[in-house]
Chain A
Amino acid sequence: MSTEARAVHFPADDWGGGVHPYRVGHRKLGMWLFIVSDSLTFSALLIGYSYLRASNVWPTPFPFYPSIVFSSVMTFCLLSSSLTMVFGVSASSRGDKAAARKWILATMVFGAAFVVLHLIEWNHLISEGLRPFTLPAHWVSTFTTSDGRLPTPLFGATFFTITGLHMFHVATGILYLGVVAARAKKLNHEDIEISGLYWHFVDLVWMFVFPLIYILSVDVGGHLAK
């Protein structure tokens, strides 16, 4: 007898044990708890970034092209990957595992596009001279304030740490989805739904990284181009 069936036959108080108090399986609950803990990791990083930004002269170096165009297309890729993932989970709930696999593969393609675009963006910044603890020389001269305060070299540290950790999550998610797609017919629906939860979480984190890291560091006046 399945756990769900036992719960129906032996009703008990929700908090007394013997039933699913949350009406989700233990693996799905585990993924939710992992998501909560990972949310706190990213929250700590983003709040640490904000702390540094509030206490330093912060460079705003991102031009419309390539930085904002690339990061916007990356956002589009991640949002679209979430849509294809939810289509995959929806197909799985109908028992159509073949369609679920196709949607998951589409999700992986969007995720891979995100990683490739992000690496190109990183390469652009590294070739400009940005390092974890060093700003490019022309950034320093451009963003030094009129009273002589230098921009902080920690810009690179926060940028590479936060976007790097996020990119690691995306890359891990692609591998995870690859395994799920390969075993889609053997896995039950909840397993596919759990992989979807992870993928949507990766998308969710980017909804904070994109505005805080990119949008708030746009070179509005084109100072670097002058």
Chain B
Amino acid sequence: MSAHVEEHFAGSNKLFISIWVWLLLLTLVEIGLAYRPMPIHFMLTILLGLSIIKAALIVAYFMHLKFERLSLILTIVPMLVICICLLFVFFPDSFRSAGLRYEFKETPPAPATEEP
């Protein structure tokens, strides 16, 4: 086994079990939220927040990124976050296309009639 691996591998089984329990609890919260009446934007925000927390727990502890060198973390994480944010740049267009898609339903064109 290489020296650098021994140095980097950290975390006890007890810690991993506690992370697993937290992940299960957060999942139960998500399922519970599904049956709480609330606006979808509010629910989406909470669900995404919980998902990001769960992802962070998995990356930090199960994938051991927390125990890696800071240079590796700074190379991987900000790049990914920035690229994902950039993907959202076209998202506002969805609201415009919603208007285009259903406009004809609300104001159907009048059928052409010929005057006698």
Chain A: CB-nearest residue to B6 = A93
- The contact string, 1 if C-beta is below 8 Å from chain A, for chain B 21-55, is 00110010011011101001001100110110011
Q: Which of A17-25, A129-137, A158-166, A168-176 contacts B (4 or more CB under 8 A)?
A: A17-25
Name the A residues within 8 Å of B20 (CB-CB).
Answer: 79-80, 82-83
Majority-rule SS of B interface residues: helix
Could you tell me which residues of chain A, from 139 to 195, have a CB within 8 Å of some CB in chain B?
A: 147-149, 188-190, 193
* B1 and A22 within 8 A (CB): no
Tier of interface size on chain A: 35 or more
Task: Using A43-B84, A55-B95, A90-B16 as known contacts, say yes or no to A215 and B34 having CB atoms under 8 A apart.
Answer: yes
Q: How many residues of B contact A (CB 8 A)?
A: 61
User: Which A-B residue pairs are the 7 nearest by beta carbons?
Assistant: A55-B98, A22-B72, A54-B94, A55-B94, A211-B47, A93-B9, A218-B34
Q: A56-B98, A86-B16 are known contacts; what are 8 more A-B pairs with Cβ within 8 Å? A: A5-B3, A22-B71, A83-B20, A86-B61, A188-B1, A190-B5, A196-B63, A204-B55
Provide 8 A-B residue pairs closer than 8 Å at the C-beta atoms, listed in order of the A residue. A51-B93, A72-B27, A76-B27, A79-B27, A95-B1, A200-B62, A212-B47, A216-B43
